[in-house]
Amino acid sequence: MNRLTLQGLDALCLTNLVELKFIRRIKKSSSLPTRRMLCTRDMRILNSSQGRMVFNFLPPIKSAPYDAKSKNLLPVFDIIFQDWRNIPVESVMVMMAIPTNPQKPFWEYFDRVLRKMTKVQKKDFINK
């Protein structure tokens, strides 16, 4: 488990599926203070025909109304929720990373683990 800078986390997410754990900045009464996530910034995976089909991926059409970097946030694509999320870099712990180039290890992990997850298992994963 390693902590990274914004640039280091960005570089890692550009070439890997990354499992992260971080402290939520906005805490809801119904949620735990931490969250786990599987994410990537690798557009080759996301924008592939399989990525578009499996993750319902569409490239962003506009940028955020604020500068994420100035708030030490990194936009990543959340594989489980199938949408973009901003991660608070100061509290991120990297749990594991699976290379996305070549793509074969990523898709093998997806087929072996993620494709089979139920809604309950996904909820348990993010709250663990």
Whether the model pTM is above 0.85: yes
- Could you give the strand order of the β-sheet that contains 83-88, starting from the edge strand earlier in sequence? 83-88, 73-78, 34-40, 16-23, 93-99
Residue 72 has pLDDT above 70, yes or no: yes
Note the pLDDT tens digit of each residue in 31-53: 678 889 999 999 999 999 999 99
> d(Cα 125, Cα 80) in Å, to the nearest integer?
10
Cβ-contact 95, 19 below 8 angstroms: yes
Note the pLDDT tens digit of each residue in 77-123: 999 999 999 999 999 999 999 999 999 999 999 999 999 999 999 99
